[in-house]
Amino acid sequence: MKAYRKELWFDVPIRRAFLNITPQVEEALAESGVREGLVLVNAMHITASVFINDDESGLHHDFEVWLERLAPEKPHAQYRHNNGEDNADAHLKRSVMGREVVVAVTNGRLDFGPWEQIFYGEFDGRRRKRVLVKIIGE
């Protein structure tokens, strides 16, 4: 069995954004040489997510509005966690949107359903953060 590990680094210049990281995951898969197996992709920070959905700008706007309704960033003082910090909303958004995804690898390719793409969800940006890609198989 092969095992391959790679860290993807991001420095989002704004507080919140969704980035399609499918090309970087496909690149890691090609580097791994794995043809049949599994890819795990997880955010290594508790204020960011990795999730799978559609690469459609209207939907990304809808996610932003929905998450702000669930866990509004402001006022910062509404959260107990914001005791010297201001990112309680980012922790909550991360929990809703998830930590990781697992994608099957079949014949050397990510075995997606229709329109599936992998996204990095940043909820407290303006600093360098990592995503782990772990690939196992043969």
- The residues near 4 (Cβ < 8 Å, ≥ 6 apart) are 28, 31, 32, 33, 34, 133, 134, 135, 136
Segment near Zn ion (CB under 5 A); pick from 36-44, 54-62, 82-90, 125-133: 82-90
* DSSP assignment of 103-124: EEEETTEE---TT-EEEEEESS
Closest contact distance (angstroms) between CB of 94 and Zn ion is: 10
Closest contact distance (angstroms) between CB of 82 and Zn ion is: 8
Q: Applying CB under 5 A, does 22 fall inside the site for Zn ion?
A: no
As a whole number of Å, the end-to-end CA separation of the chain is: 5
Segment near Zn ion (CB under 5 A); pick from 29-37, 57-65, 80-88, 113-121: 80-88
Amino acid at 82: N
Judged by CB, which is closer to Zn ion: 28, or 45? 45
Closest contact distance (angstroms) between CB of 46 and Zn ion is: 7
Please state, in angstroms and rounded to a whole number, the distance separating the CA atoms of residues 50 and 62: 17
With CB under 5 A as the contact rule, the residue among 87, 103, 120, 133 that binds Zn ion is: 87
Angle between helices 57-70 and 88-97 (to 10 degrees): 120
Segment near Zn ion (CB under 5 A); pick from 13-21, 26-34, 79-87, 105-113: 79-87
Judged by CB, which is closer to Zn ion: 49, or 87? 87
Q: Applying CB under 5 A, does 85 fall inside the site for Zn ion?
A: yes
Judged by CB, which is closer to Zn ion: 53, or 82? 82
Phi, psi at 118, each rounded to 5°: -100, 130
Site residues (CB under 5 A) for Zn ion? 85, 87
